[in-house]
Every structure is written in structure tokens, then in C-alpha cells.
Amino acid sequence: MTKQTDLKEYWKNNPRLLPSVSIDCVTLGFHDNQLKILLLKYKNTEYYALPGGFINMDEDLEDAAHRILEERTGLRNIYLEQFHVFGSNKRQNDNTHREIMAGCDIEMKPNNFLLNRFISIGYYALIDFTKAIPSPDELSDSCEWYDLDKIPTLMFDHNEIFRKALETLRLMLDDKLIGFNLLPETFTMNELQNLYETILGEKIVRSNFQRKMLGLGILERIEKKMTGAANKAPYLYRFLGRAYS
Amino acid sequence: MTKQTDLKEYWKNNPRLLPSVSIDCVTLGFHDNQLKILLLKYKNTEYYALPGGFINMDEDLEDAAHRILEERTGLRNIYLEQFHVFGSNKRQNDNTHREIMAGCDIEMKPNNFLLNRFISIGYYALIDFTKAIPSPDELSDSCEWYDLDKIPTLMFDHNEIFRKALETLRLMLDDKLIGFNLLPETFTMNELQNLYETILGEKIVRSNFQRKMLGLGILERIEKKMTGAANKAPYLYRFLGRAYS
DNA sequence: ATTTTATTGTACCATTTTGATACAATAATA
DNA sequence: TATTATTGTATCAAAATGGTACAATAAAAT
């Protein structure tokens, strides 16, 4: 499915995919003290979108989400969580689909698979920015990180999907200790705090944050990190909780 | 679709429903200090199931869930919340479907709609037990309340769906103040506490619970309720939060 | 009519958690 | 050696929570 002719054949015919159901992924990474989201831009259009895809006929929903994310990031065993299903009857737009396909020189017959109604299952993925290798799919010419405050207008209801993902993430952050999935193996307390502040969108008092985190008993203190800065060197920490799959 | 012949026609043919997607509802009520769940039993079988259904081609997902619940309870404007999608590839069993249909004297052709793969979107519904009028669907001969600790083995993955619903409900109880949907218009503090204890599965110290609930500023104190018991009469309260739709 | 009983509403105190400030320690620089 | 910026931790006040106590009271018992 890498060659253009194969691609055309694939999307012209109705492939063996589970009808009516799609997956959209809100894929978050953390870099330069900023939360970033991975977005696609379709070839020869101004349409931005969340990475997404469909479910193979014999594929578990969960597996499909992992497969889709692996194709966009190169990463396996990503931390992925379902957060909502978007099922409005009018969430799609046939013309948009046609323009996207036209951008790839693919003609859509009226009975094309994509022109059916789809509900979309939203997953959010928390990944280690340093390990991901974003790569566009066959229909898009870019797959890039965007700052959360610079998200462009997205296709269909994808902006709403993002909003709901962030809302859920904020709700679950303390409860499930999932923030660590966004950091590399080792990190300083300051990096962890910046992550929390960015996700929650509010400042936290440094000493209290440190007390809380250390009190959870989930951090292993490693050696000090000599940053080269003219001040006391911070410790590095490692997250002791189970690695999520 | 009330007569038997219509029913047969309906299920024999592939109706205009959104393929691959079903809805299952964990419908909870509170009565006699017990949480109850609404379950169906299919005609002439030993199969118990959550009330569920399908989505019409032009129907919003949310609307479909409300419609399905209205058919089983007679209630509109139920408090309904999506909590998870169940999408394992092997969650269904064709023989079970055939037995259920056989119990209704309906023959299933190999290409019958029901024999396709479905993912199921789980909703939990919190309803006022006193207002609901449970009524079975065309395929079942009973639609009844069961105590949570007396739930029989359910069809497919419905026991897991229930478990996940309860887990989500516990998580959301304090955060979203949704428990009130399970009570009638007015209630005593004791009834409210019993509800919380039942959902959370643990005892709460009475005075602290009262302090917490009154402190939220969401309860209006009405007149006293003369229970006829030989003790101080409790106040009745009304929930001041917005009524959920 | 008075006492008894069970439950309610609330006060009270001890403990824990949280919010905010202060300060000694320290890696690099001046 | 002093300076600077940041870190790790201590400390204190305020708020929230857990637990006990007790007066109030509706109906039943005496």
C-alpha cells in the first residue's frame, strides 16, 4: 500500500474494514515545557486533522488504536486511553472527504466506504516526545507537533474531540498518575512540575508539589543532574509505577 | 412492530440501522436502600442481558441511547452517560444470537444483521426508581430490577460492562454530583447517605456526611417528614443542582 | 402526664491535608 | 572568596477530614 497505484485501489474499493466506526487519536507529547499535539495536514488542502483510522474486520478496537498510533509515531506500547465516542449524525461532511481525496488524485465513487456515516472513538495517547518519529499517512503530507495554544481549525469535530480529551486528561491526571508517560525515563522535579502546570493550566507552589509527589512513593531518586547552571543541581527521578502498555 | 409477523419481518431483513454499532445500558435505580439494575431475560432462554439496541441511520448516538432507555422505562430526559466502548473482536457469539431468535420463532439467515460484528457503546443511566415502568422488548419476556449482588450471568461481555459502569460511577460520584438522579424529588439525609454507601460500598460517618453535603450548598431544606417512627423527624431535602437531561 | 426509645441535627476536638513562606545547601560564575 | 539562582526541606497557619458527644424530638411505653 505504499505505491500510489496501490493506494488508489485501496481507497477506491471498499476495504475489509469494520463499517461505521473510526478512531481518532489525540496524541500528546511534552517538549520545551510545552504540551504538543500531533496533527496531520492532508495533501494539497488546508485540512488539518487528528491522526485516525479504521478497524480491521477481525481486529480488537484497542489493537486498532495501537496500530494507528504506531504508524504515525513508530512507537509500540503507547499509553492509550479511550475517552469518548463522538456520534452526532451530522459530524461529517462529504465534500471535505471529496476534497481530501481529490488532493491525492483519487476519485470517489458515490458508494465509497468513506462516504458512509461514521462514529468516531476518541483515544488520547501520552507519549515520550523524544522517542516518537512522526510520519504522515498516505493522504497527508505532514505529521507534526503543534503547541496546544496554536492548534489550527481542524476537520469535522476534531477540535471538540481535542477539547474533550484535554478535559478528561485533567480529570484523570492525579487519579491515575498518567503524566509520567509524557516524560523520558528520568526527569527532574522541575520538569515534572512544568508538565503538571501545563496540563492543568495553572501554577503550583513548588514546595507543595514536591512534597506531594515524593509523598506518593512512586519516585526513585537517582544521581544528581549537573545542568551547568550556576545553582544547586537537581536530582533526577525515575517513575516507579508500572509502565503502561 | 408490535405484532409477531411484523417483528419477524423486522429481524429477518436488514433494517436501516447503523452497522457495527450497538448500545448497552447499565440502568440503575435505588429502592429499599438497595441499588438495582434493570435486566432483560430473552423469551424461552436462560439468557439475561443489559437493555440495549441499535442506532438508526440518521439518529444521533445520544438520541439512540435515550430512545432505547425510554422504551424500557417509559422515562424521557434520563440522566445518561457514556462510559466505555467494548470492542473486542470476540465479544459476541453467533449461537447465542441464534438461540435467542429461536426462542422467538425467528429464523436467522446467514447474512442476518445481528450476525455481523458489533462494538458496543456502554451508557449508564441513573433513574428515579419510583417513576420507571420497566417493560420488556419484543425479544424478551421480562424486564426487571435486580439487586446488584444478585446479578445473574449475563450474555456476552455484559457482566464486564456492568463492572466498568459501576467503577466509573464510583469515580464520578463526588465529582459530578450525579447520585441525586437516583432519588425522588425530595429525600432525607439518611436516604442520601444510604445511596452513597451503597454505591461506594463502604460505611460513612453520619455527622461528617451531613456536614459535607450541607456544605456543598446544593440542598434545599424543606419541611420535616413525619415518619411515624418513635424519634426525631428528619428534614426533607431537595436537590438544587440543575436537572440533567 | 411523664418517661423511655431511637434517631436526628449539630457542636466539638484531634488528626491529616493543604497553602504559603522561609531558609540552608550548593553548582557555577564573578 | 563572594555572588547568584535554584533546589531540598522545614515550618506555620488554614482548611478539610475522621471521630465522638450531646441536646432535641416524635412516637411509644409506662
**pLDDT digits over A37-80, tens only?**
999 999 999 999 999 999 999 999 999 999 999 999 999 999 99
Q: Which helix (H) or strand (E) holds A245?
A: none
- Asked if the Cβ–Cβ distance from B60 to A21 is below 8 Å, we say no
Q: Is CATH 3.30.1300.30 the classification given to domain A183-239?
A: no
Q: Check if the beta carbon of residue A115 is closer than 8 Å to that of residue A15.
A: no
**What is the nearest nucleotide to B229, using C1' and CA?**
D27
pLDDT confidence band for B1 (50 / 70 / 90):
very low
- B54-80 average pLDDT score: 97
Roughly how many angstroms between the first and final C-alpha of chain B, as a whole number? Answer: 28
pLDDT of residue B17: 95
pLDDT of residue B8: 61
pLDDT of residue A1: 43
> Is the pLDDT confidence value at B5 over 90?
no
> Is the pLDDT confidence value at A5 over 60?
no
Q: Check if the beta carbon of residue B155 is closer than 8 Å to that of residue B58.
A: no
pLDDT confidence band for A7 (50 / 70 / 90):
low
CA of B183 and C1' of C9: distance in angstroms? 22
Higher pLDDT, A223 or B194: B194
Cα nearest neighbour of B58 on chain A: A89
CB pairs under 8 A between A and B: 58
The residues, any chain, with a CB within 8 Å of residue B200's CB and separated by 6 or more, are: B170, B173
CA distances (Å), origin A41, targets A115, A135, A144, A205, B119: 20, 11, 9, 39, 29
CA distances (Å), origin B163, targets A49, B73, B156: 34, 22, 13
| Partner residue opposite B85 with nearest CB, options A57, A85, A89 | A85
The fold of A4-176 is Nucleoside Triphosphate Pyrophosphohydrolase (3.90.79)
> Is the pLDDT confidence value at B118 over 90?
yes
pLDDT of residue A228: 82
Q: Which nucleotides of D are covered by protein (CB under 7 A)?
A: 3-11, 17-21, 24-28
Q: Check if the beta carbon of residue A111 is closer than 8 Å to that of residue A14.
A: yes
Which residues in chain A have Cβ-Cβ distances shorter than 8 Å to B117? Answer: 18, 57
Please tell me the distance in Å from A105's CA to the nearest CA on chain B.
Answer: 29
Cα nearest neighbour of B17 on chain A: A20
Residue B97 backbone phi and psi in degrees, to 5: -55, -45
> Is the pLDDT confidence value at A183 over 80?
yes
- B64-77 average pLDDT score: 97
State percent of chain A over pLDDT 70. Answer: 92
User: pLDDT averaged over chain A?
Assistant: 92
| Partner residue opposite A20 with nearest CB, options B18, B82, B88 | B18
- B144-167 average pLDDT score: 97
Over the stretch A130-163, which tens digit does the pLDDT of each residue have?
A: 999 999 999 999 999 999 999 999 999 999 999 9
Which residues in chain A have Cβ-Cβ distances shorter than 8 Å to B19? Answer: 19-20
- A183-211 average pLDDT score: 97
State percent of chain B over pLDDT 70. Answer: 92
| Partner residue opposite B89 with nearest CB, options A59, A82, A86 | A59
pLDDT of residue B115: 92
- Among A47-51, A240-244, B128-132, B233-237, whose mean pLDDT is lowest? A240-244
- Asked if the Cβ–Cβ distance from A61 to B85 is below 8 Å, we say yes
Q: How many CB atoms lie within 10 A of CB B67?
A: 15
- A219-228 average pLDDT score: 87
Higher pLDDT, B113 or A180: A180
Please tell me the distance in Å from A114's CA to the nearest CA on chain B.
Answer: 14
- In A, what residues contact B, Cβ < 8 A? 18-21, 55, 57-62, 82, 84-89, 117, 119, 121, 171, 175
pLDDT of residue A2: 42
Roughly how many angstroms between the first and final C-alpha of chain A, as a whole number? Answer: 28
- B165-193 average pLDDT score: 95
| Partner residue opposite A89 with nearest CB, options B60, B87, B175 | B60
- Asked if the Cβ–Cβ distance from B117 to A89 is below 8 Å, we say no
pLDDT of residue B12: 58
**CA pair distance A138, A8, nearest whole angstrom:** 10
Which residues in chain B have Cβ-Cβ distances shorter than 8 Å to A85? Answer: 61, 82, 85, 121
- B170-181 average pLDDT score: 93
pLDDT of residue B10: 62
User: Which pairs with CB-CB distance under 8 Å and at least 24 residues apart come from B113-116?
Assistant: B113/B11, B113/B13, B113/B14, B113/B15, B113/B17, B113/B19, B114/B11, B116/B19, B116/B20
> Is the pLDDT confidence value at B181 over 90?
yes
CATH number for the segment(s) B185-239: 1.10.10.10
Closest CA relative to residue B53, chosen from B21, B86, B29, B12: B21
pLDDT of residue B13: 59
**CA pair distance B80, B60, nearest whole angstrom:** 14
Q: Would you list the domain boundaries of chain A?
A: 4-176, 183-239
pLDDT of residue B245: 42
| Rg (chain A; Cα; Å) | 20
Residue nearest to nucleotide C8 (CA to C1'): B232
What does the block give as the cell for A180? 509520567
Over the stretch B79-98, which tens digit does the pLDDT of each residue have?
A: 999 999 999 999 999 999 99
Please tell me the distance in Å from A87's CA to the nearest CA on chain B.
Answer: 5
Cell match 503538571: residue?
A196
**CA pair distance B73, B134, nearest whole angstrom:** 5
- Asked if the Cβ–Cβ distance from A57 to B88 is below 8 Å, we say no
CA of A72 and C1' of D19: distance in angstroms? 55
Bridge partners (DSSP) listed for residue B34: B31
pLDDT of residue B230: 85
Please tell me the distance in Å from A55's CA to the nearest CA on chain B.
Answer: 10
Classified as helix, coil or strand, B146 is strand
CA of B237 and C1' of D25: distance in angstroms? 19
Higher pLDDT, A41 or B15: A41
pLDDT of residue A81: 97
pLDDT confidence band for A243 (50 / 70 / 90):
low
The stretches of chain A forming alpha helices (DSSP H) are 4-12, 61-73, 94-103, 158-176, 189-200, 206-215
> Is the pLDDT confidence value at A88 over 90?
yes
pLDDT of residue B2: 43
pLDDT of residue A30: 97
pLDDT of residue A245: 42
> Is the pLDDT confidence value at B244 over 60?
no
